Amino acid sequence: MLGTIVNTGCIIVGSAVGSLLKKGLGEKYQNVLYNAMGLASLALGANTFVQNIPKSEFPVLFIISIALGGIIGAALDLDGRTKRLIAKRGGEGLANGLITACLLFCVGTFSIVGPILSATVGDNTFLYTNATLDLVTSMVFATTYGIGIIMAAPVLFCWQGLFYLLGKVAANSPLVEGTMINEMAIVGGLLIISSGLSLLKLKDCKTLNYIPALLVPVLWFLMKGLFSA
């Protein structure tokens, strides 16, 4: 868990430093950074999708995942409830920024594969690399949205902790096959694109309603493993 602890600490430090820098920026420059985060999210999301879709063994799975996950999320109103909760503390801007930050921190190869490698072979290289990236990213996000971005730290810790435990319990299981991670990354790329559209105020896709879509590939591989056993 050392790599995850370091990664979480980097987000905390980056958020604190960024929030201090925010005080010296005028509204014009904050708007520039706001748009920059939206554009970066679109680029990173598209890159994640394009890199992983050729590796997919089930090219229709991401469509099923997004559709089914979206229905479940809309029924639970995950996006609306979360945004209302965050908005009470920091406004709608923080809500959108925090959602995007959490997706960028959590939905990526480093943040999924890293904890599994740490648990199975003790290799923290991916997590240390991810920590460096998250340090810079959280600093920029906090410069734009304030200290509230620090709330992404416990989200990341729980997310990576889940995959760390998964790696410990199911080291030789089909559940941790690379192809499952590819499928999750494809869905994650779409979610990051969705967040970018919201930040740029082009389209509010209610991204959090699609979060259950990340669980669909996991369930698919669980069922696949059961029926092929």
Q: What is the pLDDT of residues 124-134, one digit of tens each?
A: 888 998 898 88
Structure confidence at residue 75 (pLDDT): 95
Q: What range defines the domain where residue 173 resides?
A: 2-228
Give the closest residue to 145 by CA, choosing from 215, 227, 87: 87
DSSP code of 200? T
Number of domains the chain contains: 1
This prediction's pTM: 0.76
Beta carbons of 214 and 188 less than 8 angstroms apart: yes
Structure tokens that stand for 180 in this block = 């499952």
Q: How many CA atoms lie within 13 A of 183 on its CB side?
A: 25
At 210, which helix (H) or strand (E)?
none
Q: What is the pLDDT of residues 14-55, one digit of tens each?
A: 999 998 887 766 777 777 877 887 888 888 889 889 988 998
Distance from C-alpha of 79 to C-alpha of 141, rounded to nearest angstrom:
20
Structure confidence at residue 78 (pLDDT): 87
Positions of the chain with pLDDT under 50: none
